Amino acid sequence: MRRRDFLGKTAKTAVVAGAAYSFVGVDKVWGRGTFNAPSAYDLIAVKGGEPDVMFDLAMNALGGMSKFVKKNQTVVIKPNIGWDRTPERAANTNPLLVKKIVEHCLAAGAKDVFVFDHTADTWTKCYKTSGIEKYVKEAGGKMVPGNTENYYQEISIPGGTKLKMAKVHELLLESDVYINVPVLKHHSSTKLSLSMKNLMGSVWDRRYWHKNDLHQCIADFASYERKPDLNIIDAYNVIMKNGPQGVSKSDVLNMKAQLISTDMVTIDAAAAKLYGAEPSSIPHIRLANEINVGTMDLSKLSIKRIKV
CATH no. for residue 258? 3.40.50.11440
Q: How many angstroms separate the CA atoms of 179 and 235, rounded?
A: 16
> Of the candidates 297, 276, 301, 275, which has an alpha carbon nearest to the alpha carbon of residue 286?
297
Q: How many angstroms separate the CA atoms of 270 and 6, rounded?
A: 10
pTM of the model: 0.88
Question: What is the Cα 264 distance to its own chain's centre?
Answer: 8
pLDDT digits (tens, 9 = 90+) for 53-69: 999 999 999 999 999 99
Let me know if 102 is exposed, middle or buried by CB neighbors in 10 A (0-12, 13-18, 19+): buried
Mean pLDDT, residues 280-306? 96
pLDDT at 182: 98
Judge whether residue 143 has pLDDT over 50.
Answer: yes
Q: Give me the domain span that covers residue 291.
A: 3-307
Let me know if 31 is exposed, middle or buried by CB neighbors in 10 A (0-12, 13-18, 19+): middle
pLDDT at 303: 96
pLDDT at 291: 96
| pLDDT > 90: percent of the chain | 85
Are 97 and 140 spatial neighbours (Cβ–Cβ below 8 Å)?
no
By residue count, the chain amounts to 308
Average pLDDT of the residues of the chain: 89
Judge whether residue 114 has pLDDT over 60.
Answer: yes
Structural domains of the chain, count = 1
Let me know if 128 is exposed, middle or buried by CB neighbors in 10 A (0-12, 13-18, 19+): middle
Quick one: DSSP state of residue 177? E
Q: How many angstroms separate the CA atoms of 156 and 290, rounded?
A: 20
pLDDT digits (tens, 9 = 90+) for 219-275: 999 999 999 999 999 999 999 999 999 888 899 999 999 999 999 999 999 999 999
Q: How many angstroms separate the CA atoms of 285 and 276, rounded?
A: 15
Question: What is the Cα 104 distance to its own chain's centre?
Answer: 17
Q: Which helix (H) or strand (E) holds 153?
A: strand 152-156
Q: Which helix (H) or strand (E) holds 79?
A: strand 74-79
Are 6 and 38 spatial neighbours (Cβ–Cβ below 8 Å)?
no
> Of the candidates 14, 129, 120, 89, which has an alpha carbon nearest to the alpha carbon of residue 251?
89
Range with lowest mean pLDDT among 27-36, 107-116, 133-142: 27-36
> Of the candidates 78, 81, 41, 75, which has an alpha carbon nearest to the alpha carbon of residue 57?
41
Question: Strand 112-115 relative to strand 74-79: parallel, antiparallel, unpaired?
Answer: parallel
Mean pLDDT, residues 175-183? 98
Judge whether residue 194 has pLDDT over 90.
Answer: yes
Q: Which amino acid is at 215?
A: H
Judge whether residue 160 has pLDDT over 70.
Answer: yes
pLDDT at 40: 82
